[in-house]
Amino acid sequence: MTIALFLIFLAACMAAGSTGALFAPGEWYRNLRKPSWTPPGWMFSVMWTSLYLLMSWAATRVALSDGGQIALALWALQIALNTLWTPVFFGLHRMRAGLAIIALLWATVVATSIAFFQVDALAGAMMLPYIAWVSVAAGLNLSILRLNPEQAVGR
């Protein structure tokens, strides 16, 4: 049962992650001005793979615990928002809409983490790297928007 639950949560994460292949950053993103602290490109796939494994294991722990219904509903909301950001930012080039989505994502990940901590402390702790990475991604989204105002007109 534990492996099956983990694989279900991992499948949801992989669906979210697949948007990166469907809506790759491409030339549009490469030509944008970015802050000096932008992580190298290879780091994104390493981080997301690690985070998706942690998020799946954390959700599995909560699913196997009593009282995790709200926590898992929040997990479902955050993975939906996670899935939405890539097509909006990279696919539609909507930096402002992407910023709004990632702000909601960040708040939902924090709420999920708090809810996970209330059910299973280790599961909550496993979500902390995700909060950190989404914070970096949100800062990057905002910085790119500010550095490329001409790209954000009407978007």
What pTM was estimated for this model as a whole?
A: 0.93
Q: Residue 150: pLDDT band by 50, 70, 90 thresholds?
A: confident
How many angstroms separate the CA atoms of 44 and 138, rounded?
A: 14
Residue 21 has pLDDT above 90, yes or no: no
Query: Based on the number of CB atoms within 10 Å of its own CB, is 154 exposed (0-12), middle (13-18) or buried (19 or more)?
Result: exposed
Please list, residue by residue across 97-110, b when 16 or more beta carbons sit within 10 angstroms of its beta carbon and e when fewer do.
ebbebbeebbebbb
pLDDT tens digits for range 64-94:
999 999 999 999 999 999 999 999 999 999 9
